[in-house]
Structure 1
Amino acid sequence: MAMNVNTNAKPTVLVTGATGLQGGAVVTELLKGDKLHVRALARNPASPSAQALKARGVDLVRGDLYDAASLRSALEGCDRAFLVTQFEGPKGTAGEVESGKLFVDCAKAAGVKQLVFSSVGNADTHTGVPHFESKRRIEEHLLASGLEGWTILRPVVYMDNLPSQPGVQRAVALRAFTHLLAGKSLKLVAVEDIGWFAARALEEPGEWKGKELTLAGDDLTVERMRDAWARAQGSRPVVAPVPGSLLNIVLPGYYAKMFKFFREKGYDADIPTLREMHPGILTFEQWVRAQSQPAKP
C-alpha cells in the first residue's frame, strides 16, 4: 500500500489500535484538536472500520505489530506515536511483550520524538497479574531504550467493558463482579478519557515528557455502580443468580489473579488531581448517562 505523504506543516503521529477502543478514542481527540497529522496503523486498511477512519481524514498505512518491516514503513516521517498492546492474541502475554518491544525499537530507529504507551494501572508495582507484568516489561524496555521522549499512561478498568444497557450480559457481569470483588471498590475510567490524556501528551510533548500517570475517573463498589445505573436509567440493575462456585471454575486464571489483586490491594490513582488536570473526566454515572443517550444520526 502506498504511503500517504504529509504535505502540511503539522507533525505526524502514528496511532496503533485505531480501530479499537483506546486507539479510536485517541484518534477522536486528536482530530478535535487538529494539531497533528494523524496516521493509523491497520492490519487491513480495506476493512469497514479502517475505511471509516479514512472518511474522517485519517491516513491509513498497512502494518502489523509483529512485522518490523511494516512498522518501519509506517513510522517513516512520524514525530510522535501512540502504542497500545494486546495480550489476548495467539501468542498471549509473551507476544504482547514481543510486539511492544519491537514497536519501541522501530520508533527509536525512525527518530520518533514522543511515544505515548498505554500500559495498565499498577504495572510498576509487581502485581503478579500476568497481563500487568507483560506491560511492565514493555515499560522497562521503553525506559531503557534511550528514546528521546516518552509518556506512560496506566489506565484502570474501562467503564466501557461493562455492558451499559439492561440484559442478561449485564446481569451476569454484575454477579461476577459482586462475587469476585467481595465488597471491595474498583477504580474505573472511561475510554474517552484515556483518549483525552493521550492526545494531550501527544500534542504537548514538552510538558508530558517522562511522565507516568495512572488514569481513573471513579472508585465504586458494585452496589454503588448499581445506584448510579438506577439514577441514570430509572431502574436498579438486576444481578443474575449464578453460583459463585461456577464463576470460579469458568474464570480464566489470569483474570482470577487480577481480581485477587483488586480485592487485596487495588489500583493506585489520584482521582482529585486527575480531575484538576481534566475537569471533564467522567464519573461512572456520567458515563452511564452518556451511553444511555440515543445515537446521533
Structure 2
Amino acid sequence: MLGLIPTMKESIMTEEPIRTIAVFAATGSQGGAVTDALLEAGVRVRALVRSTASPKAAALAERGAELVRVDVEEPSSLVAALEGADAFWFMTIPPGGMQDADTAGETRQGIALADAAAAAGVPHVVFNSVGGADRSSGVPHFDSKYLVEEHLTSLGLNTTIVRPVFFMENFTFMAPTVEDGTLVLRLPIPADVPLQMIAVRDVGIIAAQALLDQASLPAAIEIAGDELTGEEIASIHGGRAGLPARYEALPLGVMDGQDDLQAMFRWFAETPAYQADLDQVRQVHPGLRTLGTWLDAGHAPAAP
C-alpha cells in the first residue's frame, strides 16, 4: 500500500522543481482537470490545443498557461511542442466520438503522441488510459488504449499509466428522470452489479500528482472513488433530490447499433469488471469524491 504523500504544493517545495509540464487537449474534460490541478499547484503548464483562439484556450492563457497549437496529424508540431518539457500528460479518444468509435484512429493518435514524446526526449510521460484496459476486456475503446500503453513500453519511455473507471459525469446525460414524484434511474446494468466510478476532477488531481511526484504512484494504477449498485446510485440521487427513488435495469439490447458501448456495458455485468483498490487510491488522494460528495459539489440530480 502507498503511504500518505505531501500535497502538490508541498511536493513542489520539497522536490526539485519541474519547470514545464505539457498537457495535451488541455481544454478537454480530462485535460482540463489535469491543467486545473497543475495551475492550482503553481506549476508552469504548456497547454497543447487544437486552437489557441478558442474561449477555453483564452481562459487558460489568462490563468498563466502557455498555449501551443498542435495537430496530431502533423508529427513535427507535436515534437516541437514537447521539446524542453519536463513531463507530459496525454489521453486519447476515438476521433468522431463514441457513436461509431474509430478505435484504430484513437490508437494512431496515441502512437503519434508517444513517438513525439520519445523524439523530444521528455523525461516522464503520464498516459490516462482506462480501467480494465490491461485485462482483455474485449471493449474496443479499451483495447485501443492498451495498444498505446504497449507502444509506450516498446519505446522505453519513463511512463506512469493512470486507468480511470466510469466517470460520474456520465450521469449528466445518463441522468435519472422524475416520474410521478419518483426519481427513476435506468441503465443497462443488472440491479445488483456494483459499478466503480470516479469524478473527472479527481482523475485530474491524481494525474497531476503523478506528473509532480512520480514516486508517489505505482507505474500503473486503476483509480476509482466509489463503488455502487444501480439501486444504490438511484437511492443517492433520490436522497439529494428529496424524492423516493427506484432503479430499473434495462436490457442490453437498448444499446443495439452502438457496438462499442454495448460491449462495455456487457463487460460491466461480467464481474469483476473494474478492479480499482479504493483504499489505495484514497491514500494517493485523500480528498477523493464519492458519488454523494460529487452531487453535493453542484452536480445536482433531476429536479422535482
Give TM-score scaled by structure 1 length. Answer: 0.85
Matched, 1:19 2:27: yes
Q: Indicate yes or no: 2:203 matched with 1:194.
A: yes
- 1:253 aligned partner, one-letter code: D
Measure the CA separation in 2 of the matches of 1:20 and 1:26: 10
RMSD: 2.5
Contact 1:66–1:98 (Cα < 8 Å) also in 2: no
| Counterpart check, 1:124 vs 2:130 | no
In 2, the alpha carbon distance for the partners of 1:113 and 1:54 equals 25
| Structure with the higher helix share, 1 or 2 | 1
Q: Give the AA of the match of 2:28.
A: G
Tell me which residue corresponds to 2:185: 174
1:264 to 2:270 alignment: yes
* 2:145 corresponds to 1:135: yes
Does structure 2 retain, via aligned residues, the 8 Å contact 1:87–1:95? Answer: yes
Secondary structure in structure 2 of the residue aligned to 1:162: helix
Q: Deviations over 1:29-75 (max 9, x none)?
A: 101111x3101111111011111111111111011223201101211
Post-superposition Cα deviations, 1:222-276, rounded to whole Å, max 9, x if no partner, equal: 1101111123232245779x974861435x0111111111101211110012112
Pick which of 60-69 and 112-121 moved more.
60-69
Look up the match of 2:66.
Answer: 59
Q: Distance in 2 between matches of 1:173 and 1:54?
A: 42
Q: Which residue identity lines up with residue 228 of structure 1 in the other structure? A: I
Paired AA for residue 103 in structure 1: L
Structure 2: distance between partners of 1:245 and 1:37: 46
| SS, match of residue 268 in structure 1 | coil
Q: Deviations over 1:154-210 (max 9, x none)?
A: 000000111187658xx99932x1x334531110000011111111111113444x6
Alignment of 1:1-297 (within 5 A): 10-34=18-42, 36-89=43-96, 92-147=102-157, 149-163=158-172, 167=177, 174-175=185-186, 177=187, 179-208=188-217, 211-236=219-244, 244=251, 247-249=254-256, 252-265=258-271, 266-292=273-299
Is this contact kept in 2: 1:226–1:236, CA < 8 A? no
Separation of aligned partners in 2, 1:282 and 1:62: 33
Q: Which structure 2 segments of 5+ residues have no match?
A: 1-16
Work out the CA distance in 1 between the residues paired with 2:40 and 2:246: 38
Task: Tell whether the 8 Å contact from 2:176 to 2:184 is kept in structure 1 after alignment.
Answer: no
Larger CA deviation: 180-189 vs 51-60? 180-189
Deviation at 1:18, TM superposition (A): 1.1
Aligned to 2:144, the other structure's residue is in SS state helix
Counterpart contact for 1:121–1:268, Cα < 8 Å: yes
TM-superposition CA deviations, 1:76-122 (whole Å, max 9, x none)? 21111001101142881111111101111110111101100000001
Q: Which runs of 5+ in 1 are unaligned?
A: 1-8
Partner secondary structure for residue 152 of structure 1: strand
Q: Aligned pair count?
A: 276
Comparing 223-232 with 105-114, greater Cα deviation is found at: 223-232
Counterparts in 2 of 1:258 and 1:47: CA distance versus 1, 3 Å: same
Q: Distance in 2 between matches of 1:232 and 1:283?
A: 13
Conserved? CA contact 1:229–1:236, under 8 Å: no
Identity of aligned residues (%): 40
Q: Is the 8 A contact 2:20 2:87 kept in 1?
A: yes
